[in-house]
Amino acid sequence: MGDASTTGSVKITDGNKGSTDLPLLGGTVGPNVIDVRKLYGETGYFTFDPGFTATASCESQITYIDGDEGVLLHRGYSIDHLAEHSDFMEVCYLLLFGELPTVDEKESFVKTVTYHTMVHEQMVNFYRGFRRDAHPMAIMVGVVGALSAFYHDSTDINDPHQRMVASYRLIAKMPTIAAMAYKYSVGQPFMYPDNKSSYAGNFMRMVYGVPAEEYELSPTIERAMDRIFILHADHEQNASTSTVRLAGSSGANPFACIAAGIACLWGPAHGGANEAVLKMLEEIGSVDRVGEYIKRAKDPQDSFRVMGFGHRVYKNYDPRARVMQMTCHEVLNELGVEDDPLLELAMKLEKIALEDEYFVEKKLYPNVDFYSGIVLRAIGFPPEMFTVLFALARTVGWVAQWNEMIADPSQKIGRPRQLYTGPAERPYVPIEKRG
Ligand code: CMC
């Protein structure tokens, strides 16, 4: 790291204190950034940017998004090409190590991941402590955090070998943990992983298989699941990834950091949106009511938003949404439900929104979550599992970003400043004199 180049400077002028030059740093592609690290020391000012709308929190070489053009690249490869030509294991390797694997590298990587797919048998007791109707994301936060209590030999973040073992463990165990959360909710026996199956195939078997019967999976559904995992694998410095980095910046162990990321992902403005989209489509109910909901979304007095629309970075069609829409048609066709009324409703909603002045002006386009709920529901997942699948797939991104941060010599504990508007210091009031 430290590969950014200084491309110039920006002068900050203050009527009272004179002017200060701040370096302008350039990356490979994307806008230059003003390096404000010396701003406070030289001027006594902080910057103010709630929600980090204009702040680069780190230097990274993993993922690049051009939100205006609707471009998403992982290590330089476009998401469309990866979704079409690679499988999820290759994308994991790419995110973690920077290059697509050779045949031998891929074989060895898959072997190492599958070696770690089982969870400590005592973790079963952990599940039994949850209510059967617990939200599976609540279980994920708890169980993933608890991994640090089971795998002590991979929690030393200063040892690169231990960091890599923890990374493999997290990627390998996440499908097992997610499938167990599902099995627990339906009261079926937990299924052990099958290392002969693909990553997606093994997950589906652990979710839908039962010990009493052979499990058969359609190759179209297996490929669709794998593609859904690819589409969610990483998305640069989004809220949950930034949460993982912030938690990790204090030196917390990787399992605790990923649990923090899962907690953040759960929110409806982030990973919880796929569940929220389905709820919204069910609430709208029929194509004739779309207009009413579009009207509500535009009303500043109404908090209703079209879930699955809009994005902090994309001001164009989310490139993942295009692939997801295609996958949606493939899956529904395979399952013989091409005329799913919710899909019809979603397509109508999308069409109306894309032509509506409000949505056009605010550059609100469908994001990855708009179609994913329909696909996952058709495959048979209950809505509460949608965000769990997102977490499963995003784990590799979190882990790659966490590793990059720990290995970066310029890494510091994340500690934002604030603009304080509370009371200035005042005399203490004894209780008998208050009120
Ligand atoms: N429906 C209606 N209006 C919207 C929507 C929407 N989905 N999204 C944004 N707006 C309006 C918003 O009211 C605001 O209007 P105004 O300028 O008049 O106040 C304007 O567009 C800008 O919105 P914002 O909330 O300031 O933008 P943001 O960058 O802070 O929020 C977002 C981005 C994704 C949280 C937001 O678009 C949203 O809530 N979308 C619905 C939830 C969703 O689909 N989330 C999934 C994101 S993609 C997957 C992921 O990364 O997890």
Q: Identify the pLDDT of residue 16.
A: 81
User: pLDDT tens digits for 379-429?
Assistant: 999 999 999 999 999 999 999 999 999 999 989 999 999 999 999 999 999
* Mean pLDDT over the full length of the chain: 94
Which residue has the least CA distance to atom 4 on ligand 1?
Answer: 305
Q: Is 311 a catalytic residue?
A: yes
Q: Is 270 a catalytic residue?
A: no
Q: Identify the pLDDT of residue 275.
A: 87
User: pLDDT tens digits for 246-270?
Assistant: 999 999 999 999 999 999 999 989 9
Whole-prediction pTM value? 0.93
In the DSSP assignment, the letter for residue 17 is: T
Q: Measured from the CB, is residue 22 less than 6 Å from ligand 1?
A: no
Q: Identify the pLDDT of residue 264.
A: 97
What is the per-residue DSSP string for 244-300? HHHHHHTT--HHHHHHHHHHHHTSTTTTTHHHHHHHHHHHH-SGGGHHHHHHHHH-T
Q: Measured from the CB, is residue 393 less than 6 Å from ligand 1?
A: no
**Percent of all residues in the chain with a pLDDT value above 90, rounded to a whole number:** 85
Closest atom of ligand 1 to 362 CA is 21
Cβ-based neighbours of 4, under 8 Å, separated by 6 or more: 25, 26, 27, 33, 59
Which residue has the least CA distance to atom 48 on ligand 1?
Answer: 367
Average pLDDT over residues 428-432: 97
Query: 236: phi > 0 → left, psi -120 to 50 → alpha, else beta; which?
Result: left
Cα(309) to centroid of ligand 1, in Å? Answer: 7
Q: Measured from the CB, is residue 266 less than 6 Å from ligand 1?
A: no
Q: Measured from the CB, is residue 252 less than 6 Å from ligand 1?
A: no
Cα(308) to centroid of ligand 1, in Å? Answer: 9
Average pLDDT over residues 216-230: 96
> Which SS3 state, helix, strand or coil, does residue 3 take?
coil
Phi, psi of 394, rounded to the nearest 5 degrees: -75, -15
Q: Measured from the CB, is residue 308 less than 6 Å from ligand 1?
A: yes
Which residue has the least CA distance to atom 24 on ligand 1?
Answer: 312
User: pLDDT tens digits for 290-303?
Assistant: 999 999 999 999 99
Which residue has the least CA distance to atom 35 on ligand 1?
Answer: 269
Q: Measured from the CB, is residue 297 less than 6 Å from ligand 1?
A: yes
**Which residue among the candidates 87, 234, 356, 369 is catalytic per the annotation?**
369
User: pLDDT tens digits for 316-374?
Assistant: 989 999 999 999 989 989 998 877 888 889 889 989 999 999 999 999 999 988 989 88
Asked whether 2 and 59 are in contact (CB, 8 A), the reply is: yes
